[in-house]
Structure 1
Amino acid sequence: MMSAKLWAPALTACALATSIALVGCSKDPKDAQQAAAAQKMPPTEVGVLVAQPQSVEQVVELSGRTAAYQVSEVRPQTSGVVLKRLFNEGSFVRAGQPLYEIDSSINRANLDNARATLTRQQANLNAMRVKANRYSQLVGMNAVSKQEYDDLISQVKLAEADVAASQAVLKNAQIDLGYSTVRAPISGITGISTVTAGALVTANQAEALVKIQQLDPIYVLINQSSAELLRLKKQISQGNLTANLNTKVRLRLEDGSIYPIEGNMQFSDASVNQETGSVTIRALFDNPNQLLLPGMYATAEIVRAVIPNAYLVPQAALTRTPTGQATVMLVNAKGQVEPRPVTTAGSKGTEWIITDGLKTGDKIIVDGIAKVKPEQKVNAKPYQAKPAPQAGKAAGAPPASAAQPAQPAKPVEQKAASQA
């Protein structure tokens, strides 16, 4: 009896140990199966873009304002009372078109006086010439002295000078009479008239009668910082950029729309504004519909240079480290993810411009980059860019699938379930 009582605890302990061992043995195969299943899972599928070098235009965006191609402040060149205004304010006028009519009575009287003076001087000159011809015959016969003849020749020359002076006075009077009609010096759009009929105006007065602006073509004055200009010239001199000789300018208006006509760069100022530290650049745009008006704010997109052997990479493919280093993920020859630091030189549309860190043929991960990590095995597929949404579809419209019956889809789902 005593021996049985002593063996009972030992047997219980052995049974407990055996059950624990059996439980442990039964769990190990399950874990091994799960690990094997994890190893048999297919690699993560990613969309890759094959790097190909190309020449990329470097576009800079600069702010600017529009300015009229020509501006003329019309002032009277003769004095008098304005009789009538001959144009509509805000209308288009052509060069030479009459704008104002000024009272010409005084100018006309001056013209008549100058014409009469010239007639008298010409009559006096003709009499002197007839007398000189007669004296030329008499002096040969010693009927008159040589001194008298010389004095008469001098009087003829003085009369000729008087006629020339009278002709100049007459021409000046004719010009003054022509100034009685104020004409447009250039073609353009008129502003507000500062005078009305009955106003007294004086020649070359300080206040303009009206301002005319030529709006087609039109200038866009752009400001570029001198530091950026120096940096651009340095990159071109080092061979990193190629200067763009045929510089085109695109214009984005205040409402965000793009002006449909490209402009041409005309010149860059040779001096720097000391107050703003910027250089003024002038571009010329055709403005047939007068969409652009002087003083409008606009953003100019200028192709200043071309970057050779650069790579365009979608923005989704590039990430940055906490220190700001730009990095892309590549699929190497082993089919594993490999991070690669790169150097960017701005962006073009929705793509980054990469100038260093890539080589031809590199497979850049674009789609699925958030699901991978370095050294992970992946299955690379060609990247398919998502099509842009069609502008014709109205917001909030039901999708195309909603208009189709959903019944045909059910048998397909059931078939797939039965195959599974």
Structure 2
Amino acid sequence: MKNVLAGLAACLLLIGCSDAEAPPEEPTVPVRIVTIASQSVPNVIELPGRVEPVRVAEVRARVTGIVEQRMYDEGSSVSAGQRLFRIDPRELRASYAQTQAALQRAQATAANARAVVDRYLPLVDENAISGQEYDAALAASREAQANVAQIRAQLEAASLQLGYTTVRAPIAGRVGRAQVTEGALVSQPEGTLMTRIEQISPVYVSFAQAASEVLDIRRGIAAGEIDLDENDRVEVRLTFSDGTEYPIPGYIDFLAYSVDQQTGTVELRAEFPNPENLLLPGEFVRARIFAGQVQNGLTVPQRAVSLTEDGGTVFVVDNRGQAAIRPVSLGAMVDGRWIVESGLRVGDRVIVSNLQKIRPGTPVQVLQTPTGRNAASRQPARKDGAP
């Protein structure tokens, strides 16, 4: 009897030890999910771009002379025709007066020659003079008129040269710093650069896209996989280097039909309104090109994605009712949702809450879905261990 009691005590002790060493069951974590469904998503292409002025004018000297005065504030906005510099006009003014006097002298000579012709005309009919004398007088009159026309043209050229001593803005825009100072000699033959004017409202943003990607877009449009807007315009949005977004969208206004042989890219250009001059020429920006809509696309909320060097990862609920990690390839982010290029399928259940409490293999309990329906709670594992 003592032996039987001792054996029973040993068995109970072994059972107690076995129960104490068994690992506790991992607690179930309540989570919310979104069920992946196909939908129309924007076809977004991200490219680096550079801001360019719509128009650039180099203001150069059109006459030779000494700069007397700068008549604008550097870096200010100027209107077309506004005075920028004044070049000493005295030498050209004297040349103009000299040409004007020559014109008056030529006009007097032409008037006298015409009077001779008028006197000779009745004498020819009376045979008082020969026809040869009349023809010579008529030729002299015509030569005098031609000389008048020539000197009048010279006077007009002198007037233009005199007008060029006041240097004016050829376009409206933002004027740069002066390249010459008062007292500097500027030259018309050399075309001395005096300043530059850039029109920056609106502005252009230029970027280059791989020729193969442009071809894919054209094929998608032709196949009906990409839908443009009702005006067949392609919208572009910009992001500054600090991550902030430019609030006004632009639209593609130029697409080159040739491929750069060195880079294998196609040049594109978009035009943007710039009423507050936030976009500065030469600035690098990040452009997001919304090239229509792609049918049967997939998206996930931003909060569901953990970013990695290779892209991103999400947690999904597998058929065992456990959390499983899934690497995904991400496209652009639109309205707080990542566009998923690969890694997920329609029907996948992506976890969007309590991500910090779960790891691969953690049992989860699905709470209310964003659609307001109560999803099924954690599913029991199959006995055969199949997923």
With structure 2 as the length reference, what TM-score do the two structures score? 0.75
8 Å contact 1:342–1:354 — kept in the other structure? no
Counterpart of 2:208, as a letter, is N
Instruction: Find out whether 1:95 has 2:83 as its counterpart.
Output: no
- SS class of match (2:66): strand
Report deviation, 1:68: 2.1
Q: Does the C-alpha gap of structure 1 residues 291 and 313 become closer, same or farther in structure 2, counting only changes over 3 Å? A: closer
Counterpart of 1:47, as a letter, is R
Counterpart of 1:194, as a letter, is Q
Q: List per-residue Cα deviations over 1:37-79 (Å, max 9, x = no partner).
A: x9xxxx9865343555432112222112222222222111111
Gaps of 5+ in 2: 20-24, 373-387
Aligned with 1:155 (options 140, 150, 154): 140
Aligned with 1:193 (options 159, 178, 197): 178
Which runs of structure 1 show a deviation greater than 4 angstroms over 4 or more consecutive aligned residues? 11-21, 43-46, 50-53, 315-320, 323-332, 335-339, 341-345, 354-359, 361-374, 376-380
Q: Does the C-alpha gap of structure 1 residues 342 and 246 become closer, same or farther in structure 2, counting only changes over 3 Å? A: farther
Counterpart of 1:351, as a letter, is R
Larger radius of gyration, structure 1 or 2? 1
Instruction: Find out whether 1:146 has 2:134 as its counterpart.
Output: no
Aligned with 1:111 (options 88, 92, 96): 96
Aligned ranges for residues 10-89 of structure 1 at < 5 Å? 46-49=31-34, 53-89=38-74
Aligned residue for 2:266?
279
Aligned residues: 358
Aligned ranges for residues 298-309 of structure 1 at < 5 Å? 298-309=285-296
CA distance in 2: counterparts of 1:19 and 1:112, whole angstroms: 135
Aligned with 1:173 (options 158, 180, 184): 158
- SS class of match (1:162): helix
Report deviation, 1:289: 2.1
CA distance in 2: counterparts of 1:197 and 1:319, whole angstroms: 62
Aligned ranges for residues 219-368 of structure 1 at < 5 Å? 219-243=204-228, 245-314=232-301, 329=316, 346-349=331-334, 350-353=336-339, 366-367=352-353
Aligned ranges for residues 353-392 of structure 1 at < 5 Å? 353=339, 366-367=352-353, 370=358, 381-383=368-370
Counterpart of 1:151, as a letter, is A
Counterpart of 1:310, as a letter, is G
Counterpart of 1:202, as a letter, is S
Report deviation, 1:110: 1.4
CA distance in 2: counterparts of 1:96 and 1:126, whole angstroms: 40
Aligned with 2:120 (options 129, 132, 135): 135
* CA RMSD, 1 decimal: 4.1
Report deviation, 1:143: 2.3
8 Å contact 1:331–1:364 — kept in the other structure? no
CA distance in 2: counterparts of 1:56 and 1:225, whole angstroms: 22
Q: List per-residue Cα deviations over 1:82-118 (Å, max 9, x = no partner).
A: 2222222222222211222112122112111211121
Report deviation, 1:368: 6.6
8 Å contact 2:205–2:269 — kept in the other structure? yes
User: Which deviates more from structure 2 when the two are superposed, residues 197-206 or residues 224-233?
Assistant: 224-233
Q: Does the C-alpha gap of structure 1 residues 206 and 325 become closer, same or farther in structure 2, counting only changes over 3 Å? A: closer
CA distance in 2: counterparts of 1:195 and 1:342, whole angstroms: 61
8 Å contact 2:39–2:296 — kept in the other structure? yes
- SS class of match (1:134): helix
Report deviation, 1:319: 9.7
More helix by share: 1
- SS class of match (1:382): coil
8 Å contact 1:366–1:383 — kept in the other structure? no
- SS class of match (1:223): strand
Report deviation, 1:306: 1.1
User: Which deviates more from structure 2 when the two are superposed, residues 273-282 or residues 73-82?
Assistant: 273-282
Q: Does the C-alpha gap of structure 1 residues 347 and 300 become closer, same or farther in structure 2, counting only changes over 3 Å? A: closer
CA distance in 2: counterparts of 1:365 and 1:89, whole angstroms: 58
Report deviation, 1:324: 10
Q: Does the C-alpha gap of structure 1 residues 122 and 221 become closer, same or farther in structure 2, counting only changes over 3 Å? A: same
Q: Does the C-alpha gap of structure 1 residues 258 and 355 become closer, same or farther in structure 2, counting only changes over 3 Å? A: closer
User: Which deviates more from structure 2 when the two are superposed, residues 289-298 or residues 239-248?
Assistant: 239-248
Gaps of 5+ in 1: 1-10, 32-37, 386-420
CA distance in 1: counterparts of 2:135 and 2:298, whole angstroms: 95
8 Å contact 2:240–2:286 — kept in the other structure? yes
